[in-house]
A and B are shown apart, each in its own frame.
Chain A
């Protein structure tokens, strides 16, 4: 049941639990219990909203930053990752295989704000060897949702 619930709420976190129960053919109380358990266990980490900020008047700049670091004895990458993710401007931090170590997503109001953060805060950390910054120009698809077009039903109204 868990996986079924997760698959649905991953797409629509606002779904009414009664409807969720009907769709899965379960009792509503069971569904609610299961969701509470998953919240406690940290499987469900929040109920966020996907926003296409480009369509609002709010100006935002998003950057993907590749960071190379020196892992520390006994701590590996975790300590440095923590120092980075504690900044509220940082939206996500991943440890990555390949040519660099951390992939950091950063959001700011202006290009300048983002650049300042990188030069002042990120690059100056002891263990950071280098950074390489990519600004996002256009978001086509995010969290499995295509941002650019809305799909139309092209089927005929009645078919056998």
Chain B
């Protein structure tokens, strides 16, 4: 029999997260600080709207781009929150989570051997999606001393004449890093000068704890070369609803819509109705959750400071990214031993790129009570390590 598999797919290395997940799932009664999703339930009025739409029999496909009312609400939201205005009819597409938006944006824009700059540590899908789209991923290793921001020099050093897209994943998973206006202005200048497009993954935009989130699309000259990706998962605690969106120049969005139409048809209808409610009446929920995350973030930072763990202060998402180099172990060894000896699950930084070596991703999408138990265990673990 012939080899049934595609060489391209087989050569893509499996997610580092997956590997660690398998170890964790065998461990009974472990406490986890390993999730990348909110601990809050979707606010009830949003769920209720989803249920209501089902009761009314709204169970059909929507248009490929998504419900017009939802696209209009998204445009209102973006102009209100980040000061960028898009045309609902032609510059927005509703996708199955931000993940689909990443995938189809890359597929719509890449030809063979086009290079995509991917700053790491970052979310696991940019690299494989680039390969699947026939492009060539070029990794930019971000540095702890820059608080894991992307600098102008790092960007310039990575650019070749094949560079087509820069992925800009901020606020960042797993580091919690943000890019402030001045940081983005530096990047925008280079992108315009070198004629590079930006795929700005702003899924954590509502979870910024140092001033308002700034989108690179709002900077002069950038809207026309940016695909802005966002969604409902993190801001409204709607991960399981699988709903996101991409906004950008009409010519790119229409090609993305073509892929989406053939591969997906449309995003889930129930989720779209719920999302309209989220955008119309969800501001308070977002603020409440942001406050709760921010309190946990301060709490965690304070605990690490007291334990003497080296950790830059992250101002976004719901992760801290402490450095564990002092213990002379790899991230994976550290995480594995922490799991075996203290039954606390965290994710090794290497799951998000090689330059995550020496770091751990710790999620604070947990109640303070949960964090306290986990922190006590981490403290007893490192006290033991230091005594050796």
A positions within 8 Å CB-CB of B: 4, 7-8, 19, 22-25, 153, 155-160
Contact = CB atoms under 8 A, between A and B. Distances in A.
Most buried by A among B30, B32, B295, B298: B295
A156 B295 contact: no
A126 B209 CA distance: 59
Given A159-B17, A159-B34, A159-B37, 10 more contacts: A19-B299, A24-B298, A25-B298, A157-B32, A157-B34, A158-B20, A158-B34, A160-B17, A160-B36, A160-B173
Contacts of A157: 21, 24-25, 30, 32, 34-35, 345
A158 B22 CA distance: 9
25 contacts: A4-B291, A19-B299, A19-B368, A22-B302, A23-B295, A23-B298, A23-B368, A25-B298, A153-B39, A155-B37, A155-B39, A156-B21, A156-B35, A157-B25, A157-B32, A157-B34, A157-B345, A158-B17, A158-B24, A158-B34, A159-B35, A160-B15, A160-B36, A160-B123, A160-B351
Contacts of B295: 8, 23-24
A160 B32 contact: no
Interface in B287-329: 291, 295-296, 298-299, 302
B374 to A, nearest CB: 13
A24 B125 CA distance: 35
Interface in B192-246: none
A77 to B, nearest CB: 33
A158 B34 CA distance: 5
Contacts of A4: 291
Interface residues of B, number: 27
A155 B295 CA distance: 22
Nearest to B367: A153
Leading 7 A-B pairs by shortest Cβ distance: A23-B295, A158-B34, A158-B21, A157-B32, A22-B302, A157-B24, A159-B36
Contacts of B37: 155, 159
Contacts of B30: 157
Contacts of B51: none
Interface string B18-29: 001100110000
Contacts of B36: 159-160
Given A23-B368, A160-B124, A155 B298 contact: no
A59 B347 CA distance: 49
Contacts of B291: 4, 7
A22 B298 contact: yes
A157 to B, nearest CB: 4
A156 B39 CA distance: 11
B347 A158 contact: yes
Contacts of A155: 35, 37, 39
Nearest to A7: B291
Contacts of B123: 160
A153 B40 CA distance: 10
Contacts of A8: 295
Given A158-B347, A160-B15, A160-B124, A22 B35 contact: no
A24 B295 CA distance: 6
Nearest to B352: A160
Contacts of B35: 155-159
A25 B345 CA distance: 27
Contacts of A7: 291
Interface in B89-124: 123-124
Given A23-B368, A153-B39, A158 B299 contact: no
Contacts of A158: 17, 20-21, 24, 32, 34-35, 345, 347
A32 B200 CA distance: 43
Most buried by B among A4, A23, A157, A158: A158
A155 B30 CA distance: 13
A20 to B, nearest CB: 9
A22 B294 CA distance: 11
